[in-house]
Amino acid sequence: MSKRILVTGGCGFIGSHLVDSLIKEGHYVEVVDDLSANTSLEYLKQHLDCESARFFKYDIRDIEKLNSLSSDFDLIFHLAAQPDVKVSVSEPRFDFDVNVNGTLNILELMRIKDIPEMIFASSVGTVYGETDVFPTPESHPLNPISNYGAAKAASEMYCYSYASLYNLKIVSLRLGNIFGPRATHGVMFDFFHKLRKDSSKLEILGDGKQTKTYLYIEDTIEVFNHILKKIRAGHTVYNVSSYETISVTEIADELVTALGYDDVRYSFTGGKRGWKGDVVFTSVDISKLLSIGWEPKTTIREGIRIYSEWLNEKYP
């Protein structure tokens, strides 16, 4: 059945892929994005030209602008965020304002306009912080070590309270490190541009042993589409990741090979963290997501190969 859907952050990396998929499935989409964080209308324009989507250059911190939107949405995908852990360390109030106050504004939009359902993009590694339970299940206490992780955890708590108080259906998807075509941030993107400047050497932040979960973008979008059909009353949480983990140095090895470089010399900035608030090891339990019929299809290494091809075409 076709739905009227609002997507916040719909011009970003994950959001633009999601909008493509929703429109392909026959849904009508309205996008809210303030076009910050290096985003543009590049991927949305085709849908605007075909009148299968509408765009509003709104900041999710502006509740008055949000309240001017239609009241007949069936569902909200809330992806808009300040996405950088490092920024959350240097500008904690800004991070809180966007990620917590902005999410509260979206929840208020649901309450005031009787929008019954929302899927919220949370974060898998940053909300758990450093734990000794691996793979980490959704039931594990949240112990963030970054302001970004704290903001995502706080937003989840508001999702829980709003779902309970106002009889809403909300799902929080704790996303791992999502990568693939259109991504313009993250370790792979950073390594690619460093190697383009000088393919004889590569500086790696920390000791290179940081090991985390990753998921290819197409598999991620399949999760969103799958959850869209499974959403139920209350607040539900899922870890969203692949089976695999990979270290930063292994990512460098895979990318160097995919790009066809030889004899690249690695150097390390030292310390176990790449930056303040960096969680050095993440491995999460995805059995809850598997139990409702989804499973990842693309290995991390295959995804890196595809992403490297896109990077070469995008930045010749």
What positions carry a catalytic annotation? Answer: 148
Interacting residues of 152 by C-beta distance below 8 A, sequence separation 6+? 99, 122, 123, 126, 127, 144
Beta-bridge partner residues of 169: 117, 234
Contact present, 148 and 108 (Cβ < 8 Å): no
Locate 162 and state its tokens. Answer: 């709003």
User: Distance between CA atoms of 235 and 45, rounded to whole angstroms?
Assistant: 34
Distance of CA 250 to the CA centre of its chain: 22
Locate 184 and state its tokens. Answer: 């313009």
Beta-bridge partner residues of 136: 284
Distance of CA 277 to the CA centre of its chain: 17
Tokens 């303030």: give the residue.
Answer: 34
Torsion of CA 31, 33, 39, 42, to 10 degrees: 30
Contact present, 143 and 128 (Cβ < 8 Å): yes
Tokens 């959350």: give the residue.
Answer: 88
Helix (H, G, I), strand (E, B) or coil at 235: strand
For the chain, what is the radius of gyration of the CA atoms? 19
Helix (H, G, I), strand (E, B) or coil at 104: helix
Task: Answer left, alpha or beta for residue 277, where phi above 0 means left and psi between -120 and 50 means alpha.
Answer: left
